[in-house]
Amino acid sequence: MTDTIRLEYRNVTMRFAQGAGHLTAVENVSLSVRDGEVVALIGPSGCGKSTLLNIGSGLAAPSAGDAFVDGERVEGPNAHVAFMLQKDLLLPWRTVIENVMFGVEIQRVPSAERRQRAQALLDNLKLSDFAGHYPHQLSGGMRQRVALARTLAVDPTVLLLDEPFSAVDAQTRMVLQRELAQTLKSAGKTALLITHDLLEAVTLSDRVLVMSPRPGRIVDEIAVDMPGRDDPLARRRHPRTGEYVNRLMQRLGIGHDGEPVPA
């Protein structure tokens, strides 16, 4: 990790028209993610987390403030940013390797290079035996691994991850978390991760940013001072993990029974 800022939001506010007035989704949000860093963004539903990812990817323009990737103001979709969503959105008429190559085809990467790049990712994610399969022939976890390979194939500077494993079962989720963590670490990628899973936030990230209810603001920043960001399973067993999760629960006002803590 270096001190170079890869992704930055400066005083970002987003308003949406609502009837005769407007709804403020996020307000005056400033944050930055350094080169090679993974930052988790948590907060209550509707606080504007996904809105921030849309702004960072160039899919939406803020009402006020700016987002920057590698120091350049985001003014539209950016080739240096890749987005991975909750749904895999694989193209059903394409094989696994053809799905992985889709983004680099759009980038007009030569055919031999894009196939080589896709095959290397499938090898790393233990999917090489399924390169010729179609999405309907895969399990949910395998489909998400294909989606991750497609995201990485375009060689982005920044990955925006919007609850990428929320649709899979708990066991598969842990396997995918490990594969994501190892891939991000080995490739030196920078990522901003949205999750509602506090344990996932702690085990996958270098820092956790906490947002308030709408309009979303950054109300806390917690540095995860534990080794092994590339091994989330080991982090689950670390004695400090529970401390971090409890701190996040308290900051979000969540009791141990899942109910809001009384004021």
Share of the chain above pLDDT 70, in %: 96
Distance between CA atoms of 38 and 21, rounded to whole angstroms?
37
Please indicate, yes or no, whether residues 20 and 37 belong to a single structural domain of this protein: yes
Q: Which one-letter DSSP state was computed for residue 179?
A: H
The structural domain count of the chain equals: 2
Residue identified by tokens 């920043």 is 221
pLDDT for the residue numbered 242: 94
The residue from 98, 124, 155 where one domain ends is 155
The residue from 155, 185, 207 where one domain ends is 155
The residue from 155, 182, 198 where one domain ends is 155
For residues 147 and 91, the answer to whether their CB atoms sit within 8 Å is no
Please indicate, yes or no, whether residues 184 and 222 belong to a single structural domain of this protein: yes
Per-residue pLDDT for 207 more than 70?
A: yes
pLDDT band for 1, please (50, 70, 90 cuts). low
What's the domain range around 67?
A: 1-80+157-263
pLDDT band for 31, please (50, 70, 90 cuts). very high
Share of the chain above pLDDT 90, in %: 61
Segment 213-251, tens digit of pLDDT: 999 999 999 999 999 889 999 999 999 999 999 999 999
pLDDT for the residue numbered 172: 85
Segment 38-47, tens digit of pLDDT: 999 999 989 9
For residues 38 and 30, the answer to whether their CB atoms sit within 8 Å is no
Per-residue pLDDT for 7 more than 90?
A: yes
Three-state SS sequence of 23-53: EEEEEEEEEEEECCCEEEEECCCCCCHHHHH
Please indicate, yes or no, whether residues 150 and 215 belong to a single structural domain of this protein: no
Per-residue pLDDT for 21 more than 50?
A: yes
Please indicate, yes or no, whether residues 102 and 127 belong to a single structural domain of this protein: yes
**What does each C-alpha distance from 218 to 28, 94, 214, 251 come to in angstroms?**
9, 41, 11, 12
Tell me what the mean pLDDT of segment 124-146 comes to. 91
Beta strand 158-162 with 72-73 is unpaired
Tell me what the mean pLDDT of segment 1-27 comes to. 90
Please indicate, yes or no, whether residues 16 and 26 belong to a single structural domain of this protein: yes
Please indicate, yes or no, whether residues 210 and 258 belong to a single structural domain of this protein: yes
Please indicate, yes or no, whether residues 68 and 194 belong to a single structural domain of this protein: yes
pTM, to two decimals:
0.89
Please indicate, yes or no, whether residues 223 and 235 belong to a single structural domain of this protein: yes
pLDDT for the residue numbered 256: 52
CA-closest candidate to residue 100, choices 69, 76, 124: 124
Check residue 227 and give left, alpha or beta (phi > 0: left; psi -120 to 50: alpha). Answer: beta
